[in-house]
Amino acid sequence: MLCNEAVKRIDAVSIISLVSVMRNEEVLADQHRELDRASAARIKKLLEERAQGKPLAYITNKKEFFSEEFYVDERVLIPRPETELLVEEGLKILEEHKEARNIVDMGTGSGAIGTIIAKKTLKEVLCIDISVEALRVAQYNARRLNVSDKTRFLCSDLFDGLRETTTFDLVIANLPYVAVDEWDGLMEDVKRFEPKTALIGGKEGTEIYGRFIERLPNRLAAGGHVLCEVGGPGQAESIGAGLRAKGFTVVSRRDLSGIERVLVGTWTHSS
């Protein structure tokens, strides 16, 4: 079995599995299997890419999220495990408010959030992103999950592309929230390969959320909810304060690492 000391064993197995069209278990069970020259050359090339820092998800074009396999490439962020909390909270709200019908996944990226919500609830979800290339990936994932009939896609800067009278019962937002001065501290594979525009939220990291919150009250139906993924306690405090100033009641939810990751806002009244 070909390998590269700079690549973790599990990543090497995944790459060999991809090229040889075998399951990881089969690769591990037959480590002395001979490969043809073309396959060996492709594996070598992909191992070199991984050794240089390219994320495995971009090499294999797949990432598991909420027990589903999503297609990903450099046009979209790789779905993070902590974002599953955002989906869990959305599903809880929709279970408690079965009458909720108008749902939007704001900053959809790969479509992981919106397509899971559509598949689990059989409700229609509008997926919005400012990147038309990201939307192409999201549409492909909707087809893979068999929810094309339950998802719609709109290229828009936040709510700009919607009619002024359009309102929602649930808005799920996973918007860029990395501050400019935090960029250098990110992992190299993130900085070199993932789309910067999907990460940087402005100088302080909260500017895009600030614009989002400013327009939010006019976009939520009475008793509607908003969910926001944030970058930790500092942002939970500042973004939460912005929501409260607009008339929302807000609670935060912690991810498995104990970090405040999701804000749950309920629309009560205007400021």
Tens digits of residue pLDDT in 78-89: 999 999 999 999
Query: CATH number of the domain at 76-267, out of 3.40.190.290, 1.20.1740.10, 3.20.20.450, 3.40.50.150?
Result: 3.40.50.150
CA dihedral 200, 74, 259, 215 (to 10 degrees): 50
Location of each CATH 3.40.50.150 domain in the chain: 76-267
Which pLDDT does position 11 carry in this prediction? 85
Which pLDDT does position 35 carry in this prediction? 75
Which pLDDT does position 1 carry in this prediction? 44
| Sequence-separated contacts (24+) of 7-12 with Cβ below 8 Å | 7/47, 7/50, 7/51, 11/50, 11/56, 12/47, 12/50
Which residues of the chain, if any, have pLDDT below 50? Answer: 1-6, 271
Provide, rounded to the nearest whole percent, the portion of the chain with pLDDT above 70.
93
Asked if residues 116 and 66 have their Cβ atoms less than 8 Å apart, the reply is yes
User: Pick from 100, 95, 58: which is nearest to 79 by CA?
Assistant: 58
Which pLDDT does position 271 carry in this prediction? 46
Which pLDDT does position 41 carry in this prediction? 87
